[in-house]
Structure 1
Amino acid sequence: MSDINEIADGYVERAAALNPLEATYCGVPGYDERMSDLSPDGFRARADLDRETINALSHGAARDEGEQVAKDAMLERLGLAVEFYDSGEATSDLNVLASPLQAVRQVFDLMPIEGEQAQRNLAARIAAVPEAYAGLRRTLLESAKSGRVAARRQVLACAKQCAEWAGIAGPQPTSTSQSPEGDDAAGFYAGLVARTGTQGALRAELDQAAQSAREATAQFGVFLETELLPYAPEQDAVGRERYRLASRYFLGAAVDLDDAYAWGWSEVKRIEAEMNRVAGLIVPGGVDEAVAALDTEPRRRIAGREALRDWMQELADRTIAELHGRHFDIPEPARRIECMIAPTNDGGIYYTGPSEDFSRPGRMWWSVPEGVEEFSTWREVSTVYHEGVPGHHLQVAQAVHQRENLNRWRRLMCWVSGHGEGWALYSERLMEELGYLDDPGDLLGMLDMQMLRAARVVVDLGVHLRLPIPAGTGWHEGEIWNPELAWEFLRGHVRMGEEMLRFELNRYLGWPGQAPSYKLGERIWLQAREDAKARKGPAFDLKQFHSQALALGGLGLDPLQAALARM
């Protein structure tokens, strides 16, 4: 191989060794028994690797178009990773969904639990949880003392998550000497060990590791409430400078934030009008009347989490079978997806990609909030398209399959939210174009999800930049955004259960720039398609456009547009 691919492939192994958690997430084999170093030294070592690789790439020669795309994409991603580290964002990262705190726990959802070797890997990694959290504790505290720390809301919510994972019922204990009794004492790790079914000496080793991990998780929650919380600011807003960096990181493109805010409002208005039109096809009245009718229609109701999983699986499998060969050419390994109910109740729906050899398939996960046991399918049809095919699963699994065309970094490690989430949201709209949302109820569900993503643009930018609510909206005009107004806005525009919606708002407040990447990414994907149409004229072929775009693998949206323009 030539320079750029050699650099990229070498980076994957070195990055995996420095960050075994990411290796498991990405499906790189050989690191499942190890834990990432989350101490300040660990973060520094990963940033040093990024700097070294940027230097090597800058002096490397791209031998062909594929290497040029890889070079552009890798320089963009690693450059932003270094900026994140240098700014203190990486070492102060703490939010309710996707910070190092959750990575330690969530990685176990991806690990096999059957067979002696898999169980020994589990034992070793569970036993390393205390050291990981001890390192993260030093990192967050060092960052806080230098003036960079998450907002109070995120610190408290993450402490609550720790208590839940540790199986602590009721208020968070003030010391580790307080041990809960009964079933609530088991926690996540004991449940994981129980599912292995192993016995004997290995079971004893697993049980001991699980108890240590449980205690470390509980202790970390106490640390958050007693040591980190005093440093945490009350204000959720991060301001324009920090937000601009976050937006670039999540999009892989620089956008005009004020233009994006105004566009978000226009999208809310457009989608609202379309929802009212579709609601009229369901029942007389408005959207609320249509929602009430759909929620009580027996054929659209599901009771129980297992039934929800089975419904998701059947729809995902059927969609893959129908789209393959007609609208997409789906590689054989990518025609398998597993729908899963997550072992925790954190909230959220998400996708995890396959391992490099596809022994672990791509998976669609639903972390259902505690107490939620009734579901309306009309809300979730487009969610299956988003997380499955033609959304994340097609995009990610197809890239993993392209051993002959993409280096390992492009296949396994390059994920850009605006590219990935933008494609998945584009896929929902595409399924309407292809005739898969002709049922007015399913179409209303898709539009409701589009409204959620448009509302995210408005709320996320509005709160974090402390923007005024524009004149002409008819709603709190001229007032400056705050979390209370954000909650009121979401309640008025999004038909989602309160627990899920509360989780959504906490996510936006603690993860600035990520939530708008869905809608802003979709906007750039749609523009890329229109640009391709303009270039090719009558020769434009939609299936070919999708094939060429997905063949590029994951990359920032600026490198994506540049690569597509050269085709």
Structure 2
Amino acid sequence: MGDDLSADSRAVRDVADAYVTGLARVDPGIATYLGLPVGQEEMPDLSPEGRDRMDGLSRATLVDLDRAEQAAVGPLAPAERRCGRLLRERLQADLAVSTDDEYLREIVNVYGLQQRVQDIFQLMPTSTADDWAAAARRMSRVSQTLDGLRESLTRGLDTGHFVAAPRQVRVIADQLDAWIRDADGRGWYAGFCADADVPAPLRSELDRSAALATAAAAGMRDWLRADYLPKAEAQPDGVGADRYRTWARFWTGAELDLHETYGWAWGEYRRIRAEMRAEAESVLPGATPREAMHHLDRHGEAVDGAEAVRLRLQGWMDEALDELDGTYFELAPPVRVVESAIAPAGSGSAAYYTPPSVDFSRPGRTWLPTQGRTRFPLWSLRSVWYHEGVPGHHLQLAQWRHLSDQLSTYQAGLGGIDACTEGWAMYAERLMDELGHLRRPGERLGFLDWQMLRAVRVLVDIGVHLALDLPHDAPVGAGQAWTPGLAKEFLAVHSGQSAEFVDSEIGRYLGLPGQAVSYKLGERAWLEGRAAAEAAHAGRGERLDLKSWHTAALSLGPLGLDDLQDELAQLQAEENPPLRPRHHRDGMETRVSNGPTEAEGGSLL
């Protein structure tokens, strides 16, 4: 039974879209991310006053949401119910972070400064002189954003309680240093503007703005090292159970039983380890998984050069689109457009994805950080691009954009929850393995290596932040309490990735408590949802049509982990997708009149 999409059933979605309109005015980074013509010359305000404005909007929206739901006559239509559940849960989770003053110590190597003061420029249009003029004016205001962040961090220091861990401070200072040294010492901003074909006066303005932005980054780097770091040295790396629960809810949309989750992850770790041993034997008889992966690095198929690997990644996504559309997915033409790109200097080590604008004028893109490498073994990359591109993040997030006028602009653009999006991307990797797409030597070992990383993430993330013990049969640190050093050793033993990648991962876990568990927990929800649908169909003597189920599932929009499980279970009883993709778009109705989550940074590996 399909949803009632009549005009008088949009009250809740209208509240959600009004929130997007307000948020785009408060935070110009959100407007750029969505491709809305609002504040394109402005930068986000990271000061305490900026946070207060966002919190005020969230509280007012919750009041409006209550009124809209209470005014409804009869049960809410399914589309309204899902939007209301998502909006309320996300606003409450975000306000909980503010209530705990977590933003006063927000220093992280992903979902942080990079998205605020670097990626925002990569998402801007740059095809005309007017576009570059807007970029120049925005770039001249980078210092204001960094000053606001410094104000928030200083307030945290002054309280004595809201101070980031020293490891995170060093990571961000080093990240800023990489931006400053990029483009042969001219800085990332100068490199970004280098190829702009603009008149001489605008060229001078771009150069001045780039120099100002680079100087501001240098000032922030120096302040972190000289002033902030000495006051942070005594801070513990772990955040403790209470802070961890706040953040875990923010990333998953669920109240987790952390000890149950920790125990379940050990079971996943042991299962994957056994599979990896068997797969390593098929790659190199008698080899351990690590030995087999090192063999593949040295002797497996590889490509040389950043442009060559970019083209290979693009080819993989194009092939996947051709093979899956019409068989396991029903894709609208705009969703079939996705681009591969090389990530800028100073990015984290993990690949990531940025979704299209709401009108698809900016395409979805996958990003590969090269980390200075020029040779790229392929054995571990294919499943990554199934995760980041097709059928992973791109199919889900682009489908939400495509249905933005049927869902809401909030659901399509800002309401994503990592457990839902990263869980889908992991499900997509597994689906491609099930369909036999990991055919070349080592590709399935690469898939399992990433699976192992996600299982270890749960162990490390919960273990370090809650100072839990490793079991006595653990191959590293048996019976000891988790520490960052032990986490690094454990991860290095169980990953085929570089030492630089491992270091970046540890910084990521420490800076984003709760985010790392969203991958495996989200995958579990998606797999259980499909299993429930398969069981329901089998009970009726039928076989689940995966194309219909995938279309229906991707059309639900984003949901928190608890709500996602409920909604996927209900799909088994529906004969048609809740919202159907439209193959012809005569313009985009966004319902946005004035044009951490993961919204500003896209989705990570």
Contact preservation (8 Å) 1:378, 1:445: yes
1:67 aligned partner:
80
For 1:477 and 1:373, how far apart are their aligned partners in 2? 38
Matches within 5 A, 1:552-563: 552-563=556-567
- CA offset at residue 122 of structure 1? 0.4
Matches within 5 A, 1:415-434: 415-434=416-435
Alignment counterpart, residue 57 of structure 1, candidates 61, 65, 84: 65
For 2:545 and 2:313, how far apart are their aligned partners in 1? 31
SS at match of 1:296: helix
1:507 aligned partner:
508
- CA offset at residue 184 of structure 1? 4.1
1:431-490 deviation digits (Å, cap 9, x = unpaired): 111111244511111000101111111111111110011123343222111011111101
- CA offset at residue 290 of structure 1? 2.3
2:178 aligned partner:
164
- CA offset at residue 129 of structure 1? 0.4
SS at match of 1:60: helix
Contact preservation (8 Å) 1:278, 1:440: no
Contact preservation (8 Å) 1:94, 1:101: no
Amino acid at match of 1:96: N
Alignment counterpart, residue 22 of structure 2, candidates 14, 17, 29: 14
- CA offset at residue 278 of structure 1? 1.3
Distance 1:503 1:200, change over 3 A: same
Alignment counterpart, residue 94 of structure 2, candidates 66, 74, 81: 81
For 1:453 and 1:29, how far apart are their aligned partners in 2? 38
For 1:206 and 1:495, how far apart are their aligned partners in 2? 42
1:541 aligned partner:
545
Contact preservation (8 Å) 2:328, 2:550: no
SS at match of 2:401: helix
For 2:180 and 2:294, how far apart are their aligned partners in 1? 38
Contact preservation (8 Å) 2:339, 2:366: yes
Higher relative contact order (CA 8 A, sep 6+): 2
Amino acid at match of 1:297: H
For 2:171 and 2:370, how far apart are their aligned partners in 1? 17
For 2:305 and 2:50, how far apart are their aligned partners in 1? 42
1:227 aligned partner:
227
Q: Give the TM-score of the pair, scaled to structure 2.
A: 0.88
- CA offset at residue 317 of structure 1? 0.9
Question: Is 1:276 aligned with 2:277?
Answer: yes
Percent of aligned positions that are identical: 41
- CA offset at residue 406 of structure 1? 0.8
For 2:164 and 2:34, how far apart are their aligned partners in 1? 27
1:270-294 deviation digits (Å, cap 9, x = unpaired): 1111011112222211223422332
Contact preservation (8 Å) 2:341, 2:368: yes
SS at match of 2:341: strand
- CA offset at residue 564 of structure 1? 2.8
| Higher helix fraction (1 or 2) | 1
- CA offset at residue 29 of structure 1? 3.7
1:391 aligned partner:
392
For 1:349 and 1:238, how far apart are their aligned partners in 2? 26
1:350 aligned partner:
352
Contact preservation (8 Å) 1:27, 1:353: no
1:78-110 deviation digits (Å, cap 9, x = unpaired): 110110111111332111111246421221122
Aligned-residue RMSD, C-alpha: 1.6
For 2:35 and 2:454, how far apart are their aligned partners in 1? 29
For 1:229 and 1:558, how far apart are their aligned partners in 2? 39
SS at match of 1:369: coil
Question: Is 1:33 aligned with 2:41?
Answer: yes
1:305 aligned partner:
306
Amino acid at match of 1:37: D
Moved over 4 A (4+): none
Q: Larger deviation: 259-268 or 96-105?
A: 96-105
1:124 aligned partner:
137
1:275-326 deviation digits (Å, cap 9, x = unpaired): 111122222112234223322335x111111111111011111111111111
Alignment counterpart, residue 92 of structure 1, candidates 90, 97, 105: 105
Contact preservation (8 Å) 2:44, 2:116: no
SS at match of 1:196: coil
SS at match of 1:390: coil
Amino acid at match of 2:403: Q
1:46 aligned partner:
54
For 2:366 and 2:314, how far apart are their aligned partners in 1? 9
Amino acid at match of 2:547: K
Contact preservation (8 Å) 2:28, 2:40: yes
Alignment counterpart, residue 157 of structure 2, candidates 118, 134, 144: 144
For 2:33 and 2:417, how far apart are their aligned partners in 1? 15
Q: Larger deviation: 90-99 or 24-33?
A: 24-33
For 2:439 and 2:459, how far apart are their aligned partners in 1? 29
1:123-156 deviation digits (Å, cap 9, x = unpaired): 1210110111111110111122221121001111
Amino acid at match of 1:87: D
Matches within 5 A, 1:208-219: 208-219=208-219
Q: Give the TM-score of the pair, scaled to structure 1.
A: 0.94
Contact preservation (8 Å) 2:176, 2:346: no
1:168-204 deviation digits (Å, cap 9, x = unpaired): 8xxxxxxxxxxxxxx7430011111212132311111
SS at match of 1:280: helix
Alignment counterpart, residue 295 of structure 1, candidates 271, 294, 297: 297
2:327 aligned partner:
326
For 1:100 and 1:115, how far apart are their aligned partners in 2? 27
For 1:258 and 1:31, how far apart are their aligned partners in 2? 45
Question: Is 1:241 aligned with 2:255?
Answer: no
For 2:352 and 2:258, how far apart are their aligned partners in 1? 26
